[in-house]
Amino acid sequence: MDLLILFFVLSVGISFLCSILEAVLLSVNMSYVSVLEQERPSVGKLLRHHKKNINKSIAAILILNTIAHTLGAAAVGAQAAALFGNDAVVIISIIMTFAILFLSEIIPKTIGAVYWKQLAPAAAQFIRFFIWITYPIILTTLFVTNRISKGNEFANSLTKEELLHSMLLSEDDGVIDEKESDFIENILNFNKIKVKEVLTPRSVVFALEENMSIKEVIDTQSDIFKFSRIPVYRGSLENVTGIVLTKKIFRQALEDDAVSVGSIQKDIFTINENIPVSKALDLFITKKDHMFLVVDSYHQTDGIITLEDCIETILGVEIVDESDSIDDMRELAKMQMKLKRKDIESRNCEVKENPL
């Protein structure tokens, strides 16, 4: 009787442990492994090794699990037949089946899937031991499994879409708040957003003619107080020649206000409207600048983009200070275009009603 109980406990116990280890190993993600490497370097590196060589780890677990099921069931059946006769084997087999199903599969795998973070460090040590005792058999199984998985090295890599869905689930579960979720989503989609989607349209760009004197600007252009940098053009906005800093205008006004705006301007860098905002941000950082001219495919002026526009794209909000009278310049441009169309339509109606 003692042997019967011993074989039953060993069979179900080993299988229970194997099922937990399998569930934990498959539930662990690489981001958790990276965090664990910072907190417990030796355990983290061991767990990363098991994840990278998952075929070997799974093979060791399944080999022991199969041995426990097969030999354990056979040993329990033999002991039952010896103790209670052949008629008892059927009853013992039914008991073993349900014991293996619940105690060796459903319960341990549920525990492993739910508590994988708490169990992962200990699981890494057990898996290493299992690999060591089953290594000769593993070599044979790896010969087959390596050929099956060949060419699918990145099958377990997390895609951007999967990461987005994972983030949304984390938001629903309260792990991260809505604002953090928005930041992450904006960053992940950063490369998809084009400069033309966030620029300030030329129709609402405030700019100065390069031949204007500093005195004329101070006396007639009160809007200069709203901006720190102002585009400078020659003739029209189709020919933007540079940028002038507002503080430089005021400084020059104290020294000699008769000189032209063009004499104190600096060069402006030009970018295409179709490049990603992420690329524009890289250029801002590289060139240590804050404003670029944006042109279309025909090199016609489309508008301007600032470093602030790029940051707003990441944050998902408009950055407005006390000098900004309009929150969204793109919306202002649309409103002005609608008013212009209505004005044209009304004039056309007047012409039709009063023909010459």
Q: Is residue 155 part of a domain?
A: no
Residue 184's nearest CA partner among 200, 160, 203 is 160
The predicted structure's pLDDT at residue 336: 45
Q: Where residue 279 sits, what CATH number does that domain have?
A: 3.10.580.10
Q: Choose one of 149, 177, 204: the last residue of a domain.
A: 149
Q: Is residue 214 part of a domain?
A: yes
The predicted structure's pLDDT at residue 17: 92
Asked whether residue 203 falls in the same domain as residue 299, the answer is yes
Q: Is residue 154 part of a domain?
A: no
Instruction: Give 201's Cβ-side CA count (13 Å radius).
Output: 13
Q: Choose one of 91, 124, 149: the last residue of a domain.
A: 149
Q: Is residue 356 part of a domain?
A: no
Cα separation values, 275 from 31, 200, 213, 270, 271, Å: 31, 15, 36, 12, 8
Asked whether residue 209 falls in the same domain as residue 337, the answer is yes
Asked whether residue 14 falls in the same domain as residue 39, the answer is yes
Asked whether residue 166 falls in the same domain as residue 206, the answer is no
Residue 171's nearest CA partner among 156, 187, 185 is 185
Q: Is residue 208 part of a domain?
A: yes
Q: Is residue 237 part of a domain?
A: yes
183: domain range? 160-188
Asked whether residue 225 falls in the same domain as residue 321, the answer is yes
Asked whether residue 201 falls in the same domain as residue 173, the answer is no
Q: Choose one of 188, 208, 241: the last residue of a domain.
A: 188
Long-range pairs for 64-70 at CB < 8 Å and ≥24 separation?
A: 64/14, 64/18, 64/130, 64/133, 64/134, 65/14, 65/15, 65/18, 65/19, 65/22, 65/104, 67/14, 68/10, 68/11, 68/12, 68/14, 68/15, 68/18, 68/104, 69/11, 69/15, 69/100, 69/104
Asked whether residue 105 falls in the same domain as residue 204, the answer is no
Q: Do the Cβ atoms of 299 and 292 come closer than 8 Å?
A: no
Asked whether residue 238 falls in the same domain as residue 128, the answer is no
Asked whether residue 248 falls in the same domain as residue 306, the answer is yes
The predicted structure's pLDDT at residue 145: 67
Query: How many whole angstroms separate alpha carbon 213 and alpha carbon 267?
Result: 19
Asked whether residue 164 falls in the same domain as residue 235, the answer is no
Asked whether residue 23 falls in the same domain as residue 133, the answer is yes
Asked whether residue 47 falls in the same domain as residue 63, the answer is yes
Q: Is residue 327 part of a domain?
A: yes
The predicted structure's pLDDT at residue 337: 45
Q: Is residue 40 part of a domain?
A: yes
Number of domains in the chain: 3
How are strands ordered across the β-sheet holding 200-201?
200-201, 301-306, 291-295, 269-272
Look up residue 186 and give its two tokens: 């904006």
The predicted structure's pLDDT at residue 155: 53
Who's near 189: CB < 8 A, 6+ residues apart? none
Look up residue 232 and give its two tokens: 């400078």
Q: What 8-state DSSP symbol labels residue 202?
A: G
- In order along its 356 residues, the chain shows pLDDT tens digits of 677 778 778 888 888 999 999 999 999 988 889 988 999 999 999 999 999 888 889 889 999 988 888 887 777 777 777 777 776 777 877 887 888 888 888 999 999 999 999 999 999 999 999 999 988 888 887 777 677 766 555 555 667 777 777 777 777 777 777 777 778 878 878 888 899 988 989 888 899 999 999 999 998 988 888 888 999 999 988 999 999 999 999 999 998 888 999 999 999 999 999 999 999 999 999 999 999 999 998 899 999 999 988 888 887 766 555 444 444 545 544 454 444 445 545 555 554 555 55
